[in-house]
A and B are shown apart, each in its own frame.
Chain A
Amino acid sequence: MMVIRLYEGNSQLNDDTVMDVVIDIQNIRKSYLLGDMEVPILHGINLLVKKGEFVAIMGPSGSGKSTLMNMIGCLDRPTDGNVMLMGKDTRSISDNDLAELRGFEIGFVFQNFNLIPRLSAYENVLLPTYSNSKVNLDNEERARDLLETVGLGDRLDHKPTELSGGQRQRVAIARSLINDPSLILADEPTGNLDTKTSTEVMDIFSSLHKGGCTIVMITHDPEMEKYADRVVHIRDGYIENN
């Protein structure tokens, strides 16, 4: 029997909070094929993140945090289950439209920064707009403003190699914000940084959070828990508490 509903929402939700849900993960499983063997990594995960929340995901190495993050960011599709983003069922969205969704609605921040070495800080920040550009935003002005905000107003023309690790990560954060996304996904953003620069970077996330940004961040460092509204613990592909 097929029941068609406008919003196939999480049972925990009241209808009036639907619009405030950014991530609604429903019982997703992910397994990889190793030869003929199917190796399950995520075993039925449910997760709900509301607008403006700052959620930290913690867990031992290999527990499936990055795998989960890739599902949320639509870089990969779950073997089973459903990922709803901003109320959209991603199962029914084509790869092309998923790319567009990533471009407009999701900002990624990686552990290893992933800046393009040939491009200046300013060009790296503008990079997402070459493919997906919001008509109501002045990209170039916004790129300068964002770099200013993360404290790199005087480093616009520097290449990544001419910047410190902390500065590189701040460029990456500016890049993730260029299209004014609904969601920031950060996978161990301070993993390659020392304590002092980690704090600087976390302060930026903190102020973004205060400004209303929705953030999901993977971290190994219990120190970082204090910045988050909520911590989700993952172990062996299961969520321990929610």
Chain B
Amino acid sequence: MIDIRQAFSLALGSIGSAKMRSALTMLGIIIGVAAVVANVSIGVSFNQFFTDELDTLGSNFIIIYSQDVNIFYDSELELIRNTPGVEGASAFNQQMAEVSYLSGTKQIDVQGVSSDAQQISNLEVEVGNFFTDKDKYTAVLGQEVADGKFDQEVAVKNYLDITFRRQDGTTVTQKFRVKGILTGEDNAFVSGGPDRDATIYIPVATINELLNVTDYGGFSANTEDSESVQAVSDEIDKRLARQLGVSARDLDNADAKPYRIFNQAEIIERLDQLADSLTILITIIATVALLVGSIGIMNIMLVTVAERTREIGLLKSLGYTRKDILILFMLESVILGIIGGILGALIGLVGSFIVETYIDIPRVFPLSLIFLGIAISFVVGLVAGIYPASRAAKLDPVEALRHG
């Protein structure tokens, strides 16, 4: 039985004696493993990114909104508040309004919300406070509104003039006192919703009074725990639909309802589905790459066996058994695979870091990925080596010695 350390150094020596060829052989497996490692790493990072983003949007939230007017009133807000499992609920109304500060005037998104919105939507106040339900002409500014929109920075206790357009075409201007300024956010491009940094929040009762309306654009609510979000959301949906006169058989038909409802759990689920289809794609790419990689290794091992036929004959004459020869060539194949796997894992790691830095998502790299890469390449090397190595082992010593 061959000494495994010596077999190892013999195999390494053989690989080392044809460095260029070995490197080219490994290309397939390097690319395959790099693709797997980079894709998984980027996938994990995206996941982290979305999770972080969702957390900043609020915890366990449910959003209900309508494109139509005169759908939602206080009675619907009460209905949502009274649905079991709801922790807080807020109505909202919104308008792009003309905002004046000192000599400057800007178009800014003004959101009317209730004080519950602070915890529902995770609105973090950096300076001052969020308004309470008793406040009336009080505003809370997004970071960018406070320090980027106007020539001079807007501070807490300063006053802004906001001009709204009413439905009848008239305008109304009201002075608001700044009560708080929100913490700035990272660029939140997944949220798709309003950019909080560029938003002014005022009490929803105030905006409705100024606009001279009593209906709302929608509601936001949250639950105490994440497990119940979907169930509570479904319950709200059912109650709202009934209240708004949606027929019983249309309860499951979203298009039949005059509003849309979605929640955090659904978003996560949809992201998971996206991740799943991404995984399938990666698996296909990786399988193809690894197949190519293993064919590459098998091919070069067959060439090696053919080239070294005489050497195999010699080893047999020196007393090496079939098993010894098999081990020797299997080792060579596995080493080729593993070196390729390590290189591939490193390239995948570097590649995913570059991509993650470039598109600005968290750089998460599970170290287990390196082991995954090596494990994959080990299996590839093993499988690719079986046929060439067993061919080498079966060579007839006399024929082999006569060869070449």
**A residues in contact (CB < 8 Å) with B:** 70, 73, 75-76, 95-96, 99-104, 108, 110, 114, 116-119, 127-128, 130-133, 175, 179
Instruction: State the CA gap A103–B6 with chains docked (Å).
Output: 16
B396 surroundings in chain A (CB, below 8 A): 76
Instruction: State the CA gap A175–B364 with chains docked (Å).
Output: 55
Residues B401 and A131 in contact, CB atoms below 8 Å apart: no
Residues A131 and B324 in contact, CB atoms below 8 Å apart: yes
Top 9 A-B pairs ranked by shortest CB distance?
A: A103-B319, A130-B6, A128-B318, A99-B321, A102-B319, A132-B319, A114-B314, A75-B397, A131-B320
Kindly identify, within residues 311 to 346 of chain B, every residue whose CB is under 8 Å from any CB belonging to chain A.
Answer: 311, 314-324
Residues B318 and A127 in contact, CB atoms below 8 Å apart: yes
A102 surroundings in chain B (CB, below 8 A): 316-319
CB distance from A116 to the nearest CB of B (A): 6
A130 surroundings in chain B (CB, below 8 A): 2-3, 6-7, 10
Q: Which residue of A lies closest to B1 (CB)?
A: A131
Inter-chain pairs besides A75-B401, A95-B322, A103-B319, 15 sampled, C-beta below 8 Å? A75-B398, A76-B398, A99-B319, A99-B321, A100-B319, A101-B319, A102-B319, A108-B317, A110-B314, A114-B310, A114-B314, A116-B311, A131-B2, A131-B319, A179-B319
A75, A95, A118, A128: which contacts B14 (Cβ < 8 A)?
A118
Q: Which residue of B lies closest to A104 (CB)?
A: B319
B13 surroundings in chain A (CB, below 8 A): 118-119
CB distance from A102 to the nearest CB of B (A): 4
Instruction: State the CA gap A190–B323 with chains docked (Å).
Output: 33
A104 surroundings in chain B (CB, below 8 A): 319
A127 surroundings in chain B (CB, below 8 A): 315, 318
Residues A103 and B318 in contact, CB atoms below 8 Å apart: yes
Interface centre among B2, B316, B396 (most CB of A within 10 A): B316
B17, B314, B315: which contacts A118 (Cβ < 8 A)?
B17
Given A76-B398, A114-B401, A131-B3, is A100 in contact with B314 using a C-beta cutoff of 8 Å? no
Instruction: State the CA gap A104–B319 with chains docked (Å).
Output: 7
B324 surroundings in chain A (CB, below 8 A): 99, 131
Q: Which residue of A lies closest to B17 (CB)?
A: A118
A101 surroundings in chain B (CB, below 8 A): 319
Q: Which residue of A lies closest to B6 (CB)?
A: A130
Instruction: State the CA gap A118–B6 with chains docked (Å).
Output: 14
Interface centre among B1, B319, B321, B323 (most CB of A within 10 A): B319
**A/B interface sample: 6 pairs, CB < 8 A:** A118-B13, A128-B319, A131-B319, A131-B320, A132-B319, A133-B3
Residues A99 and B14 in contact, CB atoms below 8 Å apart: no
Instruction: State the CA gap A99–B324 with chains docked (Å).
Output: 10
A-B interface contact total, Cβ < 8 Å = 70
Instruction: State the CA gap A117–B310 with chains docked (Å).
Output: 12
Instruction: State the CA gap A159–B1 with chains docked (Å).
Output: 26
Residues A70 and B17 in contact, CB atoms below 8 Å apart: no
Q: Which residue of B lies closest to A115 (CB)?
A: B314
B320 surroundings in chain A (CB, below 8 A): 99, 103, 131
Q: Which residue of A lies closest to B14 (CB)?
A: A118
Q: Which residue of B lies closest to A69 (CB)?
A: B398
CB distance from A133 to the nearest CB of B (A): 7
A108, A116, A131, A175: which contacts B321 (Cβ < 8 A)?
A131
CB distance from B275 to the nearest CB of A (A): 48
Q: Which residue of B lies closest to A114 (CB)?
A: B314
Instruction: State the CA gap A132–B6 with chains docked (Å).
Output: 12
A131 surroundings in chain B (CB, below 8 A): 1-3, 315, 318-321, 324
Instruction: State the CA gap A101–B316 with chains docked (Å).
Output: 11
Kindly identify, within residues 350 to 404 of chain B, every residue whose CB is under 8 Å from any CB belonging to chain A.
Answer: 396-398, 401
CB distance from B338 to the nearest CB of A (A): 20
| B283-323 Cβ-contact flags toward A at 8 Å (1 or 0) | 00000000000000000000000000011001111111111
Q: Which residue of B lies closest to A172 (CB)?
A: B314
Given A119-B13, A130-B6, A130-B10, is A73 in contact with B317 using a C-beta cutoff of 8 Å? yes
Residues B398 and A70 in contact, CB atoms below 8 Å apart: yes
Residues A96 and B321 in contact, CB atoms below 8 Å apart: yes
Residues A100 and B321 in contact, CB atoms below 8 Å apart: yes
A96 surroundings in chain B (CB, below 8 A): 321-323
B317 surroundings in chain A (CB, below 8 A): 73, 75, 102, 108, 114
| B67-101 Cβ-contact flags toward A at 8 Å (1 or 0) | 00000000000000000000000000000000000
A99 surroundings in chain B (CB, below 8 A): 316, 319-322, 324
B7 surroundings in chain A (CB, below 8 A): 130
Q: Which residue of A lies closest to B4 (CB)?
A: A130
A95 surroundings in chain B (CB, below 8 A): 321-322
B315 surroundings in chain A (CB, below 8 A): 127, 131
CB distance from B304 to the nearest CB of A (A): 12
Residues A108 and B316 in contact, CB atoms below 8 Å apart: no
CB distance from A57 to the nearest CB of B (A): 17
A117 surroundings in chain B (CB, below 8 A): 17
Instruction: State the CA gap A172–B194 with chains docked (Å).
Output: 83
A73 surroundings in chain B (CB, below 8 A): 317
Instruction: State the CA gap A100–B322 with chains docked (Å).
Output: 11
Given A70-B398, A131-B1, is A75 in contact with B321 using a C-beta cutoff of 8 Å? no
Instruction: State the CA gap A76–B317 with chains docked (Å).
Output: 10
CB distance from B10 to the nearest CB of A (A): 7
